């Protein structure tokens, strides 16, 4: 069984500041992937970033980076230079190597203020 824990139900950040959204995971599979998705108020799930369990370097995609600490089973999302459009729910998910069904956390609501 897999489990994702997102301990921050809500986060506030000012525009142009960086913010870290926490995610810890539990999986018995030695090979797995970690994903972050953004869900704005429109409801659509938007893929942001992926980290494979055997990747040596932390993943980066534009303003998004993933702080992957395998021994601690943590995969925090860092958003640099926050923008008003970043206000949304953010979900962390883990998928195993057998097939790609994802297990999601309960999400963190991020609000970016001017």
Partner 1 sequence: GAGVSQSPSNKVTEKGKDVELRCDPISGHTALYWYRQSLGQGLEFLIYFQGNSAPDKSGLPSDRFSAERTGGSVSTLTIQRTQQEDSAVYLCASSWGLAGADTQYFGPGTRLTVL
The footprint of partner 1 (CB under 8 A) covers: 31-33, 35, 37, 42-47, 50, 52, 91, 93-97, 99-107
Please choose, from the candidates 41, 36, 35, the residue with its C-alpha nearest in 3D space to the C-alpha of residue 87.
Answer: 41
Least distance to partner 1, CB of residue 63, Å: 19
Question: Which CB atom, from 19 or from 59, has the smaller least distance to partner 1?
Answer: 59
Question: Which CB atom, from 36 or from 86, has the smaller least distance to partner 1?
Answer: 36
Question: Which CB atom, from 17 or from 61, has the smaller least distance to partner 1?
Answer: 61
Question: Which CB atom, from 17 or from 26, has the smaller least distance to partner 1?
Answer: 26
How far is the CA of 100 from the CAs of 29, 32, 51, 86, 97, in angstroms?
Answer: 12, 9, 14, 27, 7
Least distance to partner 1, CB of residue 104, Å: 4
Least distance to partner 1, CB of residue 40, Å: 11
Residues 6+ apart with CB under 8 A from 2: 25, 26, 27, 29, 32, 94, 96, 103
Least distance to partner 1, CB of residue 32, Å: 6
Q: With contact defined as beta carbons under 8 Å apart, do 78 and 86 qualify?
A: no
The radius of gyration of the chain from alpha carbons, rounded to an integer in Å, stands at 14
């Amino acid at each position: 069984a897999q489990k994702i824990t997102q301990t921050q139900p809500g986060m506030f950040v000012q525009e142009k500041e960086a913010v870290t959204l926490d995610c810890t995971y539990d999986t018995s599979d030695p090979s797995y992937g970690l994903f972050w998705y953004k869900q704005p108020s429109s409801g659509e799930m938007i893929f942001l970033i992926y980290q494979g369990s055997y990747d040596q370097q932390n993943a980066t995609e534009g303003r998004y980076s993933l702080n992957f600490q395998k021994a601690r089973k943590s995969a925090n999302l860092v958003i640099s230079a926050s923008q008003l459009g970043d206000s949304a729910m953010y979900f962390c998910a883990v998928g195993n190597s057998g097939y790609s069904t994802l297990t999601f956390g309960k999400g963190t609501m991020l609000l970016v203020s001017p």
